[in-house]
Amino acid sequence: MRHTKIVATLGPACSQPDTLRALLNGGVDIVRLNFSHGSHESHARSYAAVRDAAEATGRTVAVMQDLSGPKIRTGPLEGGQPVTLAPGQTLRIAAGDKPGNSEVVYTPYEPLIRSVSRGDRLLLDDGRIELRVEELRHDEIVTSVVAGGSLGQKKGINAPGVGLPASAVTEKDAADLRFGLHLGVDLVALSFVQTADDVQRAIDIMRDAGRSVPLIAKIERPAAVSNIDAILGVAQGVMVARGDLGLEVPLEQVPRMQKHIIRRARAAGLPSILATQVLESMRVDPRPTRAEVSDAANAVDEGADAIMLAGETAVGAHPARAVETLDAIIRDAETMPPSERVVPEMDPARSPHGRAVCEAAVTLAATARAGAIVAVTREGHTARMLAALRPTTQVFAVTPSAGVVGATAMLWGVTPILTTTEDINEIERLLSERHLVSSGSVVVFVNISAELNRLDANFINVQRFQ
Ligand code: PGA
Ligand code: MN
């Protein structure tokens, strides 16, 4: 079995039913709908296509809605045509959504104009174009082009080191989030989080909407790295969003920040997703570079719960092959013992006995050479606690809740099973029927609950399957 999960981003390259089925058969655990692109109609169609493909393949997949957050972008251009920016030339950036040209480009994100200082750098279009701020005017900034090139419409702007007003949930995000919850997404990721308050705001919107799903904070601003522990105190997971992070901080710091974010998430007992450019060359080529293979394998060693493909599956030439390649890389990397052991610092006040029960189950499973640990879980806490302990034994999260199935999809080493029964004999029958546990295997059943007065909860039970 594979412990580290695979996230694949949906896009034009994989939205045909047969490609989507190939992706799921290749091992995708979570499909990402990227709300930086597309309309509500197109996302509704994609969502239905994913559910159809899951049904057709018999695979359990979770759908993750990725909210665009306050991504700063340039506006439209005159005639829709790209403009050429030459090094040394002057380019003004003004607030608004008018079409720009090679002298002035607009941005709908007005706070940018007020937040920059002379000498700051602005990176456009994933850093392909670099500008230096020369002069601040009332409603525009005057920059000089340091690195030039062709600039298309609506390209990203990154302002490294510039403190921007905190509010990771834009009006568009709030509307998208309500739409996604209504659609039925299992997980929500929020871009450009800076503080725990940003995360809380999204959680409050879910509560008001009457449907809450796990919130994953995308760590792609330096402020979020500084506030990582506070963010982990509120979010249900984090994503190392290396694309924007690598523009917001010097590139050479990204590997160190990646390790730090993954370590802190593991210490908090929460899942992390490693994202961006994982098998980037496979957008074009059928085989990844050796450096990409090594990067993905190192993410496994660092203990990421999941690895994400973006352009590789969304717009690449070999979407299914990219998934199969990542699956093979992860499986091989997982045969090596991890180079570092991270002990979760989980808050014992949450469930004073819960961690001890799960640790005992993990030890018992290892000593008894068990084939599986079965977490009987209503809210998913047992599964999350077990995943945090990184058992070598595979974990089945048996739950009556479709919400828990979605939430556990990103947990390292956890396979969710949806069923209403909590009866151990019935669960045994179900796992045997589906050939998930072979006959003669030892299986450890575990359940934790905050309520110690429930006779049906807080147990460890070891069985040999017929
Ligand atoms: P994005 O996030 O693809 O939404 O930008 C990932 C990243 O920035 O790495
Ligand atoms: Mn990003």
Per-residue pLDDT of the chain (466 residues; tens, 9 = 90+): 999 999 999 999 999 999 999 999 999 999 999 999 999 999 999 999 999 999 999 999 999 999 999 899 999 999 999 999 999 999 999 999 999 999 999 999 999 999 999 999 999 999 999 999 999 998 999 999 999 999 999 999 999 988 888 677 999 999 999 999 999 999 999 999 999 999 999 999 999 999 999 999 999 999 999 999 999 999 999 999 999 999 999 999 999 999 999 999 999 999 999 999 999 999 999 999 999 999 999 999 999 999 999 999 999 999 999 999 999 999 999 999 999 999 898 766 677 799 999 999 999 999 999 999 999 999 999 999 999 999 999 999 999 999 999 999 999 999 999 999 999 999 999 999 999 999 999 999 999 988 889 888 899 999 998 8
Establish whether 218 is a catalytic residue: yes
DSSP class of residue 13?
T
pLDDT at 466: 84
3-state secondary structure 270-300: CCEEEECCCCHHHHCCCCCCHHHHHHHHHHH
Please work out whether the CB of residue 275 comes within 6 Å of at least one atom of ligand 1. yes
pTM: 0.95
Which residues sit with Cβ closer than 5 angstroms to ligand 2, an ion?
Answer: 220, 241, 243-244
Q: Is 144 exposed, middle or buried (0-12, 13-18, 19+ CB in 10 A)?
A: middle
Q: DSSP string covering 245-270, please?
A: HHHHS-GGGHHHHHHHHHHHHHHTT-
Establish whether 32 is a catalytic residue: yes
Please work out whether the CB of residue 220 comes within 6 Å of at least one atom of ligand 1. yes
Establish whether 132 is a catalytic residue: no
Ligand 2 mean position, distance from CA 192 (Å) = 7
User: Of 5, 32, 283, 321, which is the active-site residue?
Assistant: 32
Q: In whole angstroms, give the CA distance from residue 426 to residue 379.
A: 20
Query: Residues of 428-464 as b/e, b for ≥16 C-beta within 10 angstroms?
Result: bebbbeeebbeeebbbbbbbbbeeeeeeebbebeebe
Q: What structural domains and CATH numbers belong to the chain?
A: 5-69+167-333 (3.20.20.60), 78-158 (2.40.33.10), 353-464 (3.40.1380.20)
Which atom belonging to ligand 1 lies closest to the Cα atom of 240? 9
Q: Quick check: helix, strand or coil at residue 428?
A: helix
**Residue 124 · residue 74 · CB < 8 Å:** yes
Please work out whether the CB of residue 217 comes within 6 Å of at least one atom of ligand 1. no
pLDDT at 349: 63
Ligand 1 mean position, distance from CA 242 (Å) = 7
Establish whether 73 is a catalytic residue: yes
Nearest to 208 by CA among 173, 167, 177: 177
Please work out whether the CB of residue 84 comes within 6 Å of at least one atom of ligand 1. no
Q: Residue 33 has which token pair?
A: 């709908």
Q: Which residue has the tokens 């802190």?
A: 264
Q: Which residues, in sequence order, are CB contacts of 252 under 8 Å at separation 6+?
A: none
Please work out whether the CB of residue 8 comes within 6 Å of at least one atom of ligand 1. no
